[in-house]
Structure 1
Amino acid sequence: MSRFLIYGANGYTGRLIATEALRQDLEPVLAGRNAAALEAMGRELGLKWRAFDLSDPGAVQREFDGFPLVLNCAGPFSETAKPVLDACLAARSHYLDITGEIDVFALCHRHHDAAAERGIVVAPGTGFDVVPTDCVAAQLKARLPDATHLVLAFEAGGGPSPGTAKTSVEGLAKGGRARIDGELATVPLAWKSRTFRRDGEARTAMTIPWGDVYTAYISTGIPNIETYMTVPPATIARVRRLRLLRPLLGLAPVQSWLKRRAGARPGPSADRRERSDCRVWGEARNARGDEAKLEIAAPNGYALTATASVGMVRRLLSAGARGGFYTPSQLMGADYVMTLPGVRRIGD
């Protein structure tokens, strides 16, 4: 069985995933709202397509009927995850997406029982958000089973896609997030800063509301989790100044203006993706102060998203899984990221 549906296929990341799926002899059907873009893409790739929006739940279910799996690539997922997930539950189609949004992970997790009852898998975060970090977290848990604190960090080159940029704008209004004593907590933007070392050179980093503050807790049970992204010191200072503007950042007109500006920038070119890469750091610590650390190198995050997502699609189409909610490491195993092209451990 090789047929599945990609919703948001004509977006930046959706196109990369569709191309990778085709390269691996799968048969994605392209879907989304923009009929003209989908028709042109379908002609280019030799794939079937269908155009529909998500406003009518019954109509969306009918579009999904007969597909064993739907991969949602249409962000921001705060807007699309619920209608696509609801339709997948009604159509009994596995639901996957490439989100990194904490609230979307929580939404999907709340549907665990409904998914289990219907025998479908709900597995959000099948790309760079959060496959490498989730797998690193699970590997560290195996090395230090009684860990009480987990730090995850990444450096991603190449720049964001329009969809990722819009999602980041939404995040500014919500503030930072961390897992503290097992509970999700709202913290200030750029709550903490520190350095990580890449090839002997220091990289400054700040805390960000990365999806692992939700998913890594599900995967590992470690009660204290912080997530960092490397940025220049000037960016940390600039983000901290935004704390004063946080009430304004949530206003609808401000959000619309910022999203228009963010969405106007194209995603990284193929050449830029080829020339950029990622690093992921993980640190676990237990109550005695024992530590376990892990660092991995990976290709550009969008290239990894394409191969990681298609790998998870292939797994579910060929072997399936017991219905319910899964994080990437729960579905594919802690070492899954190490099987992806171009991924390697550093100094291990």
Structure 2
Amino acid sequence: MSGFLIYGANGYTGRLIVAEALRRNLAPVLAGRNREALAAMGAEFGLSWRAFDLTDAAALRREFDGQPLVLNCAGPFSQTARPVLDACLATRAHYLDITGEIDVFALCHRAHEEAVARGIVVAPGTGFDVVPTDCVAALLKQRLPDATHLVLAFEAGGGPSPGTAKTSVEGLAKGGRARIDGKLVEVPLAWKSRSFLRDGQARSAMTIPWGDVYTAYISTGIPNIETYMTVSPATIARVRRLRLIRPLLGLAPVQAWLKRRAAATPGPDAGRRERSDCRVWGEAHNAAGAEAKLQLAAPNGYALTATASVGMVCRVLSGGPAATGFHTPSQLMGADYVLGLPGVRLIDG
């Protein structure tokens, strides 16, 4: 079961996933673009490695040939998901990634029928994006089967990695998203704001285009979905001011400058990950006004990404699920999957 390939293994999150795979006595093949970094990792951990980029489709298929599964950890996934997914389809390798990008979920979902025909699983979003929120959505659907509205929110401590920061830069230019009456709709940045209670203390939050506006709809069928992230009131005000210059945010020179700044983000070190945690809220309502609520307490999001993604790799490599094709995390692993991850606990209400 140890044979699989991690693309982007030398990145911030990729390294954490490699460490978790080794902890589970797995021996992944390390892959990415940075030959020097991969060679050093291979020597350090006694693992094989391959350096290649994603621009040559034929070469990519050769690199993936014989691999039962590829876990894509190289973001922004808007740039890497399509070539990696296409190569996985061509070589019949299962495709997993740790994206939180709505358009990447849509890309993978559109590949469902081809994935079924090729006999592979396509399961994006195997990390903090979107395992805990997707599982909360599925748990709420079990509690309130006729729910018509779903609200999901999270608070993530510790700070972002370089890849997450660069993905956020891309998101500013795309604006907000929400699910309204079953349709994916563009909305303004910081479209709505409200608060969530954490241990009796109010946390201000704003809507963001989190992946669940796509995946939670697939998992639950709930037609109205909003996703929030806790931030300060000052941040909400700043983001709303960005609406005035949003066209400029999509210009290539502006994106390049912002991504260079984002790439300088080192990501939280081991101590900061250990000291920080996450909280996830979920609320579901039906047409009659009935309500179901859940909260999850979880470790740092990058720690959760490592354990969640490797757990899903193990499930796929061990022969589950019975069905091939596209899966959300709760479809692949069950609604209660997140509750079995280290450091996660359920808080009702």
The answer to whether TM tops 0.5 is: yes
- Give the letter for the 1:21 counterpart: A
CA distance in 1, matches of 2:269, 2:347: 27
Contact 2:8/2:74, CA 8 A, preserved across alignment: yes
CA distance in 1, matches of 2:135, 2:331: 9
Map of 1:343 onto structure 2 = 344
- Give the letter for the 1:65 counterpart: D
CA distance in 2, matches of 1:211, 1:258: 22
Question: Counterparts in 2 of 1:117-156, with a 5 A limit?
Answer: 117-156=117-156
Map of 2:78 onto structure 1 = 78
CA distance in 2, matches of 1:249, 1:36: 33
CA distance in 2, matches of 1:333, 1:317: 17
Structure 1 position 12 matched with structure 2 position 12: yes
CA distance in 1, matches of 2:229, 2:55: 35
Contact 2:141/2:220, CA 8 A, preserved across alignment: yes
Map of 2:32 onto structure 1 = 32
Map of 1:110 onto structure 2 = 110
- Give the letter for the 1:25 counterpart: N
Map of 1:330 onto structure 2 = 331
* Residue 2 (structure 1) shift: 1.2
CA deviation profile, 1:16-46 (whole Å, cap 9, x unmatched) = 0011001101111100000000001111111
Map of 2:169 onto structure 1 = 169
Q: Could you tell me which runs of 5 or more consecutive residues in structure 1 were left unpaired when the two chains were aligned.
A: none
* Residue 323 (structure 1) shift: 1.4
- Give the letter for the 2:327 counterpart: Y
Residues matched between the structures, number: 348
Q: Could you tell me which runs of 5 or more consecutive residues in structure 2 were left unpaired when the two chains were aligned.
A: none
Q: Could you say what secondary structure the match of 1:297 adopts?
A: strand
* Residue 344 (structure 1) shift: 0.2
CA distance in 2, matches of 1:205, 1:212: 16
Q: Could you say what secondary structure the match of 1:346 adopts?
A: strand
CA distance in 2, matches of 1:320, 1:152: 28
Map of 2:54 onto structure 1 = 54
CA deviation profile, 1:112-168 (whole Å, cap 9, x unmatched) = 000000110000000000000000000000000000000000000000000000000
CA distance in 1, matches of 2:104, 2:52: 22
Q: TM-score, length-normalised on structure 1?
A: 0.99
* Residue 320 (structure 1) shift: 3.3
CA distance in 1, matches of 2:314, 2:112: 21
Map of 1:304 onto structure 2 = 304
CA distance in 1, matches of 2:226, 2:315: 30
- Give the letter for the 2:206 counterpart: M
CA distance in 2, matches of 1:87, 1:59: 9
CA distance in 2, matches of 1:154, 1:44: 36
Q: Could you say what secondary structure the match of 1:228 adopts?
A: strand
* Residue 267 (structure 1) shift: 0.6
Identity %: 83
